[in-house]
Amino acid sequence: MNEINLNNLLNDLKEKAHPVKARILSGFFKTGKGQYGEGDIFLGITVPESRKIAVKYGDLSFKEISTLIKNQYHEARLVALLILVHQYRNCGRQGLPKNKIPTRQDLVVKKKIVDFYLAHTKYINNWDLVDLSAGYILGDYLYKGHIKRTSSMHVLYKLAKSNDIWERRIAIISTFAFIYKGESRRTLLIVKMLLNDPHDLIHKACGWMLREVGKRVSEGDLTSFLDIYSHHMPRTMLRYAIERLPKNMRMYYLKN
């Protein structure tokens, strides 16, 4: 793929632009002065439309993705991330079963994608950009042990300690890959680190992942955590975490 095709991608995005939707999204993603998405610019393109464009241009090079992810338009950055997810998932898998064992070359490419992802977190700067990429790229890479398990926690700890809200959100959302495979320990460790986070978006993300622990791993893991930490948790985090519990248990933790 060449620069002409990158320009075609941008043209495709502009053709899909919808000014009314753009105004709605600008409000929804809090782009006003002092808000978390301050200065972000939207074209008004839906996620399904963005996914179609990502698949169409799925063989974009890292150099081209690097240009795309720095674009001023939110949807351009989203498409860049969706292309990375597409490339990561399909690495070395063309025409082969999904459960094939990755080759050494596959792992080299996956590492390049993960390294690229971590090097460009500056541009993964809203919650949807994080949520649609972190678990599928970084989380999957860490879960599958492509680096040592102790190193995987080091990566998550570093992100969770970041001054950047989006890196902290990447840390907790990445643990969804572990939850999906039936492991809760990393999620609970990162939530503990973020209990006193000042931002509502981190409270929501942590509560969401805790809820998923109860749903996909073990309700006992969730309630054991809540028994110790519920009275330390921000109200929003707690409410998200207990959404799927029986009413009597929800009331217990809310009154605790």
Domains in the chain: boundaries: 1-133, 153-256
Give the C-alpha separation, 35 to 38, whole Å: 5
For the entire predicted model, the pTM comes to 0.93
Percent of the chain with pLDDT over 70: 92
Give the C-alpha separation, 183 to 103, whole Å: 25
Residue 3 has pLDDT above 90, yes or no: no
| Confidence band for 181, pLDDT divided at 50, 70 and 90 | very high
Q: What is the pLDDT of residue 2?
A: 45
Give the C-alpha separation, 24 to 171, whole Å: 28
CATH number for the domain whose boundaries are 153-256: 1.25.10.90
Residue 82 has pLDDT above 60, yes or no: yes
Tell which residue, 256, 177, 184, 247, has the closest CA to residue 214. Answer: 184
Q: What is the pLDDT of residues 43-67, one digit of tens each?
A: 999 999 999 999 999 999 999 999 9
